[in-house]
Structure 1
Amino acid sequence: MFVKSFNHNIRYNYIYNFCSFFGVTALWVLYLTHRGMSLVEVGLLESIFHVSSFLFEVPSGALADRLSYRAVLILGRVCAMISSIILIFSHDFLWFAVGFIISAWSYNLNSGTTDALVYESLRCLNQEKRYIKVSANVNALYELADTLGIFVAGWFVTAYFEGVYWIQIAISMLAILSVLMMREPRKSQRKEEKVTSYFAILKNAALFLKENGQLRFLMLFFALFEGVAATYYFYFQSLVDGYGFKGYQISLLMIASAVFQIIGAKISPQIERWAGQANLILYFSALLCGLLILTFVNQLPLLIGCFITLNTLVSVSQPIFSNYFNALIPSSSRATLLSVSSMLFSVAMIVLFPLSGWLIEQLRFTVSFGAMGMALGLVMVVLTIVMKRRAR
C-alpha cells in the first residue's frame, strides 16, 4: 500500500509541475505595458517581486519542514490564484505591486518543496538514486510546459489578454487536485525527535549550512551561474526585438531553444556520471565565460547560438545540482535548505538584473555581456590559482 502511494507521488508530481510551469503568463511585461505601466514601473515591479521572494524564500521552506509538503504546495497554488485575480482587475501600480508580492510567495512555496517531497518519497522507497532521473524529467517537462504556455498566451495578446490569468487560475486548480492525490512522505528523524518549532528549523538549517562548506559553495556557484544565464535570457529578448524580429520568429527561436533544453535535461544524468562534480563545475564555468565573451563578435547567428547553448547548459545543470543539494541535506531541514538556494538566486537577480540593464544602456548588449564574461573568467582563474596553492 505504501509503495504504491509513494510511487504515485512521482507521477502526480509531474502533473503538478506541468501545471505550475505552464508559461501562459510568461508575457507579463507586455501585459503590464498594455495595462498602462511604463517600462520604469515594470522594472520596479520586477524588483519588488525579487525582494519579496528573497525575504520569504527561507521562511517558506521552513513552513514545509514544520507543517507538511502537501499543505505548502496547495497554499502556493492558492497564492497564484489570488495573484492572478489581482492582476486581472488592477489598474494602478500599487495593486500590481501587491499582485507581484503574492505571486512571489507562490513561487517561494513551490521552490524546494516539490524537490523535498519527491526526494523524501524516494527515500521511503529506498530509491534515492532515482532522484536525478526524476529531476531531469521534471526539467524536461518544465521546458515543454513553458513553451506550450507561451504559445497559448500568444493567441490572447490582441484578443483578450486577461484570459491568460483566467487560464492560470484554472490550471492552479488542477495542480491542487494533483497534490490532493499525493501521500505525505515520512521525514526521517521525526520518529525520535519531538515536533520541531519553526525558529528551531531555521536555526538548525543555518548551522548546518555554516558547517557544510561543500553545500555552501555549490549553492553560491549555482545561484551565480543561473543568475547570469537568466539575465542573458531576458535581455536577449529585447535584443532580437531591436533586430526587428516578428512575434512568430521569436516563437520559433524559443521552440528551437526548448528542443535543445529538453534534450539537455534528459541527458543530464549521463553527463554527471561521465564528468563528476569537480569537472562539471569547471566545465560549466568555462563554457559560461566562453559564451559570454563570444558576444563581443556581435553577429546575430552567433548570438542566437550562444543563447540556445546557454539555455541548454542551464537545463543540464538544474537536475544535477538539485541532486547534489539533496544528497547533502538532512531530511529534517530539506525544504528549508533548498529554499536557501532559491533565495541566493533572488539575491543574484536583484544585483545582476538592474546592473546589466544599466550597462546595456551605456555600452550595448554585446559589450556588456562580453565584459561580464571576461570579468567572470578572471575571477575563475584567480580562484583556481588560490585553490591549487591551498592544496599544496
Structure 2
Amino acid sequence: MKSQCLESNIWKFFIFNLTQRRHYVAILSIFFLTLPDTTAKQIGIYSLAGYLASFILEIPSGYLSDRIGHKKILVLSKILLLFSILSFIYATSLIYFIIGSVLFASSAAFESGTTSAFMHNTFIELKREKEYVKIMSKISANASLVAAFLILILPFTTKISIVFPLKINFVLDVIGLFVALSFVSPKEKITAQNEEPLPLKNLFKKLYGTGFYLMSVFLGIITGFVLAVSPYNGVYLQSLGFPVIFIGVLVSFSRVFMFFFGHFSHVIEKKIGAKDLIFYEIFFFTTLCLLISLYNNPYLVGLMIVILIGYYHARKMLMTGYFLDNFCVNDKLKATMLSINAQIESVFQAIAMLFLMFLMNYSYKIGYFFAGVMLFISLSLIYIRLRKKLK
C-alpha cells in the first residue's frame, strides 16, 4: 500500500511540473507597458530584482529543504508562486511587478534542486533509481508538449482581458499547490557514512576534488550563454524579416523538440553517457551559435534557435541524474548540492549577459558570433581538466 502511494508521486510530478511553467511570460512585459507611467527600461528593474532574489536564496533554500523536508519546501514554493501571480494580476504600478518578480524568483529558488532530490529519493525507495533519468525525462517532455499548446493558445485569450492568461495560470497554480500537498514523502535511507547532514562549509570542501565544481562551471558556461542570448532571439529574427506573429509558434516548436528529445534522452544516456556527451556539446552549442550569426535566412535561423533552446532544456534531466549519481557526497544534502550547481550556473549567466548586453546593442550577429567563439574556447580549456575527473 505504501509503495502504491509512493508510486503516485510519479504521475503527480507531471501535473506539478506542468503547473511550474510560466506560460504567460511573453505577455507579462506587454501587460506591464499598459500600466500608467511605465517604460521599457523599467522591465529591466523588476527583472533584476527577481534575479537578485534568486541569487541570494539559491543555496540557502536548498540547504533548508534538506534540513526540514523536501515536501514542505515544495508546498512553500507553490504558495510563493500563487502570491507572485496575484501580484501581477492586481498590479497597478512598477512596485507590484518588483514584488511579483521577487516572489517568483524565490519560488524558483526553493523549487530548484528540491524537486529532483525529492523524486530521486522516491525512485530509490521504489527500487527504480536506474529508471530516474528515463522516466523523469519523459514526464518533463510530456509537460513540454502541453506547454507548447498553452503557449500557442493563451495569447488569444488576451482578447477577453490582458490579464486573462495570468488568471488561467493562477488556476493551474492552485491545482499545483494541492498536488504538492498530496505528495507522499519517501523514507530517508541513511548509510553509515551519511548519518547526519554535513555543515554547509564542510559540504563545499567535500565536493572539492570530485569534479563537481569543474562540471558545474562547464555546464554553467553553456547555461550562461544559451540563456543570455535567449532574450535577443525574437528581436534578432524580427530584424532578419521573421514575421512577428509567428514568434510564439517558434517558442512552441522548441517545446515540441523538447518533447521528442526527452523521450530519447535515456537512449543517449545508455549509448553515450553524460561524460562523452559533454565533449560533443562543445561543438554542438558552438556550431549552432556561429551558424545563427552567419546565416541571414530568418526561417533557417529560427530552426537553429528552436534546436538550440529545445535541446538545452531537454537534456537537463540527464545532467541532473548524472550529478545525483556521481556527486552526492551526503544522502541528506541532495537539494543543497544541486542548488550549489544552480548558483554556479547563475553566476555565469550574469557574466554572459553583461558581455552580450553591449555587443547585442552594437550588432546581434556579433553577439551570437562572440557567444560561439567564447563557448568553444572556454569549454575546450575546462574539458581538458574535466575529462580526468569524470567517471
Q: 1:343 to 1:149 in 2, by over 3 A?
A: farther
**SS at structure 2 position matched to 1:95:** helix
1:259 equivalent in alignment to 2:260: no
Q: 1:190 to 1:19 in 2, by over 3 A?
A: farther
Alpha carbons 1:289, 1:374 under 8 Å: kept: yes
Alpha carbons 1:143, 1:258 under 8 Å: kept: yes
What do residues 71-120 of structure 1 show as CA deviations (whole Å, max 9, x unaligned)?
11111111011111212222232332122111101111211111111100
**SS at structure 1 position matched to 2:24:** coil
Alpha carbons 1:135, 1:322 under 8 Å: kept: no
Residue in 2 that maps onto 1:356:
356
Question: How many Å apart are 1:357 and its aligned residue?
Answer: 2.4
Residue in 2 that maps onto 1:322:
320
Residue in 2 that maps onto 1:335:
335
Residue in 2 that maps onto 1:56:
57
Residue in 1 that maps onto 2:17:
17
Q: Measure the CA separation in 1 of the matches of 2:208 and 2:388.
A: 24
| Sequence identity (%) | 20
1:1-392 equivalences in 2 (<5 Å): 1-21=1-21, 23-36=23-36, 37-189=38-190, 201-212=199-210, 214-243=211-240, 245-299=242-296, 300-328=298-326, 329=328, 330-362=330-362, 364-383=363-382
Q: 1:245 to 1:158 in 2, by over 3 A?
A: farther
Alpha carbons 1:25, 1:164 under 8 Å: kept: no
Question: How many Å apart are 1:40 and its aligned residue?
Answer: 1.5
Question: How many Å apart are 1:244 and its aligned residue?
Answer: 5.2
Higher alpha-carbon deviation: 185-194 or 86-95 = 185-194
Alpha carbons 2:53, 2:106 under 8 Å: kept: yes
Q: Measure the CA separation in 2 of the matches of 1:389 and 1:271.
A: 21
Q: Partner letter of residue 331 of structure 1?
A: D
Q: 1:271 to 1:182 in 2, by over 3 A?
A: same
Question: How many Å apart are 1:231 and its aligned residue?
Answer: 2.3
Q: 1:71 to 1:41 in 2, by over 3 A?
A: same
Q: How many residues align?
A: 385
Alpha carbons 1:139, 1:315 under 8 Å: kept: no
What do residues 210-262 of structure 1 show as CA deviations (whole Å, max 9, x unaligned)?
343x2222222222212222223321012223345445412332233322221
Higher alpha-carbon deviation: 215-224 or 183-192 = 183-192
Q: Measure the CA separation in 2 of the matches of 1:123 and 1:150.
A: 34
Question: How many Å apart are 1:190 and its aligned residue?
Answer: 8.4
Q: 1:284 to 1:30 in 2, by over 3 A?
A: same
Question: How many Å apart are 1:377 and its aligned residue?
Answer: 1.7
| Superposed CA RMSD | 2.5
Q: Measure the CA separation in 1 of the matches of 2:231 and 2:257.
A: 18
Question: How many Å apart are 1:289 and its aligned residue?
Answer: 0.8
Q: Partner letter of residue 343 of structure 1?
A: Q
Q: 1:96 to 1:388 in 2, by over 3 A?
A: closer
Question: How many Å apart are 1:192 and its aligned residue?
Answer: 9.5
Q: 1:152 to 1:387 in 2, by over 3 A?
A: closer
Q: Measure the CA separation in 2 of the matches of 1:83 and 1:139.
A: 23
Q: Measure the CA separation in 2 of the matches of 1:242 and 1:125.
A: 52
Unaligned runs of 5+ in 2: none
Alpha carbons 1:298, 1:366 under 8 Å: kept: no
Q: Measure the CA separation in 1 of the matches of 2:220 and 2:377.
A: 19
**SS at structure 1 position matched to 2:84:** helix
Q: Measure the CA separation in 2 of the matches of 1:389 and 1:114.
A: 30
Alpha carbons 1:79, 1:106 under 8 Å: kept: yes
Question: How many Å apart are 1:195 and its aligned residue?
Answer: 7.2
Q: Partner letter of residue 139 of structure 1?
A: S
Q: Measure the CA separation in 1 of the matches of 2:256 and 2:89.
A: 32
**SS at structure 2 position matched to 1:187:** coil
Question: How many Å apart are 1:283 and its aligned residue?
Answer: 0.5
Q: Measure the CA separation in 1 of the matches of 2:179 and 2:269.
A: 31
Q: TM-score of the superposition, structure 1-length normalised?
A: 0.90
What do residues 23-77 of structure 1 show as CA deviations (whole Å, max 9, x unaligned)?
1344322222223532211122212211110110111111211112111111111
Alpha carbons 2:265, 2:318 under 8 Å: kept: yes
Question: How many Å apart are 1:183 and its aligned residue?
Answer: 0.9
Q: Measure the CA separation in 1 of the matches of 2:30 and 2:240.
A: 18
Q: Measure the CA separation in 2 of the matches of 1:150 and 1:388.
A: 39
Question: How many Å apart are 1:153 and its aligned residue?
Answer: 2.7
Q: 1:93 to 1:315 in 2, by over 3 A?
A: closer
Q: 1:11 to 1:201 in 2, by over 3 A?
A: farther
Q: 1:130 to 1:382 in 2, by over 3 A?
A: closer
Q: 1:366 to 1:34 in 2, by over 3 A?
A: same
